[in-house]
Structure 1
Amino acid sequence: MQLYQRPEILLEIPENIEFHNDIFYSEDSKDIRQSFHLLKPKQQDKKLPLIIYIHGGAWHHGDKDLQIPHLIPYVESGEFVAIAINYRFSQQAPWPAQKDDCLAALNYALKQTDKYGIDTDRVAIWGSSSGAHLALHLANDSRINAVLAYCPPSHFRPLLDILEYEEHELKSHILPDSPVIQLIGQDPLQAPELLLDASPYEHLNKETCPILLAHGTKDEAVPYNQSLAYLNKAIGLGVDCKLITLNNYEHKFTHPILDKEVRNFFDYQLLGKGYTPESLTLT
């Protein structure tokens, strides 16, 4: 077992995985926030599909290190290469810096196809929370085959509609210290176009790639209705979009059936095997 340690985390990397840590993807920056980890099978005789994980953390905290355990089983199977990326926090740079960093990481990775054995025709993005928001922003990129999004902040237009209310259940989402407002770095009433540009819902179109959403019905950080709205618009556009509803689950969740459906989603979209993903409800 290989060990990778930082002050707050110790990662155990199986011996059959080749681990490349802290690869800087921006030519003019050595900021650790603009870097990624890459994992690939040590024994690899052909190019493999790529899964890119974007971490959550309300756009102002979190780290790529924490996503490695999620990716290890996929790489250990010998069927995938995987990347976990960092991006600049909102306190460093406002929107769209986060999306720009994710695109820069994607661009860099796909230029290293021979070095790391990446099949550039089979690429998926996986994200959770704010990372899922960024993953959905890459869903229109023609190089992306599929996106998996856990509890994504995806629909910001309703925030504009509630600014006039003195009392509202979502009032905390538009306070100056709320993550979405910090993301754009401005009063949304002064820059509504910036808030809407940051909203994945507004960018959904007929060219959006297949998407699997997962969301808890009791999520107080990101309302479940956001995924319902995104799903309904996607279906109306003819986009292949499915939603796994976790009944009575909050913002963070684990579920064995969800794990099974996620693995099938990647198998189906990137390896051409498994069964057709469908929407379902888990309890």
Structure 2
Amino acid sequence: MTPVALELRSPLLYVPLNINALTRPLLKQLSAARTDDTAGVKVTTHHVPRGAVEAATRLLVCERAGSSGVRPVLFWMHGGGYVLGTPEQDTTFIERLLARFDIVVATVDYRLAPDHPYPAPLDDCHAALSWVVDHAEDLGVDTTRIIIGGQSAGGGLAAALVQRTVDQGPIKPIFQVLVYPMLDAMTVARKDDSGTGDFIWTSDSNRYGWQSYLGRDPTSGNYPPYAVSAARTDLSRLPPTWLGVGTLDLFHAEDVAYARRLKQAGVDCELYEVGGAYHAFNVLCPNAEPTRRFNESMFVAIERALC
């Protein structure tokens, strides 16, 4: 516990937690608890068709109660290692975001691995984003001011979705927000994690998440396009980026490397590192001062992007 910032210490950090085939059913049930009641926020549920015979993808559209007109949109993806989670788990974050900005937040309930490995989760996100653009007039969305973002595995999906939209068009995101994103499957092969990954998201969980998502050995390389965001060689055409991560997060090294590569490619990228912060520290300690500073840095970056 010594390396953990004082404000971020919690008895819950002593609870061993690994996600695997045995623990996932219970954790999935717990993470599915709905918490979509938000103060001052209007939430509407939409269903995005996947095809003539497939079930639809659930999409939550969140906005300030009473808001109207044409507004920017943040298209958001929840975390959960590609194997857990629902949009409702980000209720607190969305409330804080809408208290700051009069925007629309669209958050997608993408399918989860291992039942639905790549490309199903990314396909769901891409279809939902396209649906938002196609229904922009009804939703009050300004399609010239689209931000794509996500947290953890959702951050990995956000990075992949940005890459795909940049390549395929016609959607042109103006900014991406990557909150300790899960970007590089090769992190599974690291022998020395340099003291990271001791809390919340461990090396064992990471291997299970990537194995489930890719449907094969995550260290084998030669990934399909957009399956592993960090595997992309050309980052030059991507939009400006804010990327935040804690120094004790298992993803710290891969996130710093991705931010560095974005800058080297000429992309305006702000990297915000939180000393003594583990994975999902902002969820476990939402009112701590490091979380407040973390959110403020993100919000200022979003504000600049929308100017």
TM-score (norm 2): 0.74
Supply the distance in 1 between the matched residues of 2:254 and 2:206 (Cα, whole angstroms).
21
Q: Which amino acid aligns with 1:230?
A: Y
The answer to whether residue 28 in structure 2 is matched with residue 8 in structure 1 is no
| More helix per residue | 2
> Which of 256, 262, 281 is equivalent to 1:228?
256
Q: CA-to-partner distance for each residue in 1:18-47, whole Å, 9 max, x for gaps?
A: 321253353446647x21111234544521
Mapping for residues 157-168 of structure 1, pairs under 5 Å: 157=186, 159=188, 168=191
Aligned pair in 2 of structure 1 residues 159, 77: CA closer, same or farther (>3 Å)?
closer
Aligned amino acid, residue 44 of structure 2: H
SS across alignment from 1:21: strand
- For CA contacts below 8 A with separation 6 or more, give which structure has more relative contact order: 2
Confirm or deny that 1:210 pairs with 2:240.
Answer: yes
The residue number in structure 2 matching 1:181 is 211
Does structure 1 retain, via aligned residues, the 8 Å contact 2:70–2:140?
yes
Q: Is the CA contact (8 Å cut-off) linking 1:174 and 1:180 kept in structure 2?
A: no
**3-state DSSP class of the match of 2:72?**
strand
CA separation of 1:113 and 1:235: change in aligned 2, threshold 3 A: same
- Cα gap change, 1:175 to 1:24, in 2 (>3 Å): closer
1:38 pairs with 2:61:
yes
Structure 2 distance, partners of 1:44, 1:122, is: 17
- Summarize deviations over 1:45-77 as a string: whole Å, max 9, x none: 521000122001111110011123322343355
Q: CA deviation at 1:262?
A: 1.4
Preserved CA contact (<8 Å) 1:176 1:182: no
Report how far residue 269 of structure 1 moved.
Answer: 0.7
The reply on whether 1:112 has 2:143 as its aligned counterpart is no
Q: Match for residue 76 of structure 2? A: 53
C-alpha RMSD of the superposition: 2.8
Letter in 2 for 1:24: V
Query: CA 1:256–1:35 in structure 2 vs 1: closer, same or farther (change >3 Å)?
Result: same
Given the alignment of the two structures, is residue 241 of structure 1 paired with residue 273 of structure 2, yes or no?
no
Q: Which residue among 34, 45, 59 is the counterpart of 1:21?
A: 45
Could you say what secondary structure the match of 2:270 adopts?
strand
Gaps of 5+ in 2: 1-30, 167-171, 194-201, 283-290
Q: Is the 8 A contact 1:25 1:35 kept in 2?
A: no
Q: SS at the partner of 1:122? A: strand
1:91 to 1:235, Cα distance in 2 relative to 1, 3 A: same
Going from structure 1 to structure 2, the CA distance change for 1:197 and 1:75 (only over 3 Å counts) comes to closer
Q: TM-score, normalised by structure 1?
A: 0.80
1:127–1:148 Cα contact (<8 Å) kept: yes
The amino acid that maps onto 2:245 is H
Once the two structures are TM-superposed, the CA of residue 194 in structure 1 deviates from its matched residue by 2.2
Percentage identity across aligned positions? 19
